[in-house]
């Protein structure tokens, strides 16, 4: 019975590790015709072999830009894309067609761990200034075309890891309680059988 409990705990730890090490994901919302900088959430140091940004199309990825050893390489169709602060992806004057999933892939130095993180970009529809006429005095009033851009900032990696650990420990505790209840139930059933 103890080996089954240990096997269950080991399986749980493996599942928890896969869940906690899955790519980080953030969501960025932006207004049309604004510049956007998307941070690479899995970049935890300045030491890496290569940091690359891709735009995802389902499982296919389209290369945008990369940096490593002080050099920058760009994809054929992404001449205006540049790196921002902290190797963030800088997209100038975005439109709704720029909406989608972007992936930051870090190739680690020897002995390190490669990492991927994902950012979903949502660009609001473009609104043009539309003149309207009032009835009292014929004057033109324009409607503002932009609302303040907001960015949903992801939880720090440390908090995400701690929450994964807390969920894992809660599940282990619940499993142990379930095993004890199951043993108690089986023990009572065996005693009832013996008394009959």
Rounded Cα–Cα distance for residues 30 and 34 (Å): 7
Task: Look at the chain and count its residues.
Answer: 196
Q: Percentage of the chain surpassing pLDDT 90?
A: 35
Rounded Cα–Cα distance for residues 144 and 37 (Å): 23
Return the sign of the alpha-carbon dihedral for residues 57, 26, 162, 45. positive
Beta bridge partner(s), residue 132: 141
pLDDT at 185: 77
All domains of the chain in start order, with CATH: 24-147 (2.60.40.10)
115 or 161: whose pLDDT is higher?
A: 115
pLDDT tens for residues 69-106? Answer: 888 999 887 668 999 998 899 999 999 999 999 999 99
pLDDT at 133: 55
Whether residue 111 has pLDDT greater than 80: yes
Mean pLDDT of the chain: 77
19 or 163: whose pLDDT is higher?
A: 163
Cβ neighbours of 48 (radius 10 Å): 18
pLDDT at 184: 78
pLDDT at 19: 44
pLDDT at 182: 76
pLDDT tens for residues 30-67? Answer: 999 999 999 998 887 778 899 999 999 999 999 999 99
What value does the mean pLDDT take over residues 155-168?
A: 68
pLDDT at 98: 94
Question: What does each C-alpha distance from 61 to 23, 54, 105, 163, 175 come to in angstroms?
Answer: 15, 6, 11, 30, 40
């Amino acid at each position: 019975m103890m080996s089954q409990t240990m096997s269950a705990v080991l399986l749980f730890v493996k599942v928890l590790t896969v869940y906690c090490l899955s790519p980080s994901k953030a969501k960025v919302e932006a207004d049309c015709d604004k510049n956007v900088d998307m941070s690479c959430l899995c970049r935890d140091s300045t030491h890496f072999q290569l940091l690359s940004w891709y735009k995802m199309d389902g499982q296919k990825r389209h290369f945008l830009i990369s940096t490593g050893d002080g050099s920058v390489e760009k994809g054929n169709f992404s001449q205006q894309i540049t790196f921002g602060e902290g190797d963030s992806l800088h997209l100038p004057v975005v439109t709704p067609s720029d909406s989608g999933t972007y992936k930051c892939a870090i190739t680690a130095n020897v002995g390190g761990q490669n990492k991927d993180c994902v950012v979903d970009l949502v660009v609001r529809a473009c609104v043009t200034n539309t003149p309207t006429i009032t009835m009292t005095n014929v004057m033109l009033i324009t409607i503002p075309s932009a609302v303040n851009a907001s960015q949903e900032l992801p939880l720090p990696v440390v908090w995400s890891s701690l929450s994964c650990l807390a969920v894992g420990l809660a599940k282990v505790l619940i499993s142990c309680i379930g095993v004890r209840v199951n043993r108690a139930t089986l023990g009572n059933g065996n005693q009832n059988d013996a008394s009959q």
